[in-house]
Structure 1
Amino acid sequence: MLAGFTVTSLAATEPLQVNEKITARIVKEGSPEDPSVIMELTFAPGAAFGADEHRLPEILVVTSGVFGDGTAEYGEGSVIIATPGSVHFPQSEGGCTVLAFHPAGR
């Protein structure tokens, strides 16, 4: 392994229940030196999160299925960037998986 690199696996990460139909796998937790957080979110069909207001930036990459934000739907390969103060309503009618990047922490 090259110095300064860390490698992990989603398969080695325990899923956490966000709610009845959404699970999260924390790939990288923030630290005082580097507050960024990376997680995989899996939405079962019909999953909904409710209002999600962002104090900090968030970047979502849809890796499978279709992700909805309350007004539009985004398919695989979509990149959604939320700025501080923005609000969306994460949901998925048919189920989806997204990678969530929180560059400034959560």
Structure 2
Amino acid sequence: MPAGFTVTSLAEAAQMQVNDKITARVVKQESPEDPSVIMELTFAPGAAFGEDAHRLPEILIVTDGVFGDGTAEYGVGSVIIGTPGSVHFPQSKDGCTVLAFHPVGL
């Protein structure tokens, strides 16, 4: 592995419940040197997060299923970028998985 690189695995990341139908695997925690956070979120069919207001940017990549934000639905390969001050209502009618990247932390 070249200097300056780190390798981790989604399979090795601990799974935690966000709510009764959403789970998260944090694959990169924030640190004093790098505040970014990367996690995989899995939505069971019918899952809803409720209002999600962002004070910091968030980037979501749909890797499986269809993700909804309260106004539209996005399929596999969609990249959704939320800017500071944005609000959405994460949900999935049939279930989905998204990779969430928080470049400057949570």
Please confirm whether the aligned pair reaches a TM-score higher than 0.5, indicating the same fold. yes
- CA deviation after TM superposition for structure 1 residue 14, in Å: 1.1
1:66-77 alignment runs, 5 A limit: 66-77=66-77
Please name the residue that 2:46 is paired with: 46
- CA deviation after TM superposition for structure 1 residue 32, in Å: 1.1
1:1-106 alignment runs, 5 A limit: 1-106=1-106
TM-score calculated relative to the size of structure 1: 0.99
RMSD: 0.4
**Identity within the alignment, %:** 81
- CA deviation after TM superposition for structure 1 residue 29, in Å: 0.4
- CA deviation after TM superposition for structure 1 residue 71, in Å: 0.4
Work out the number of aligned pairs and report it. 106
* Runs of 4+ with >4 A deviation: none
TM-score calculated relative to the size of structure 2: 0.99
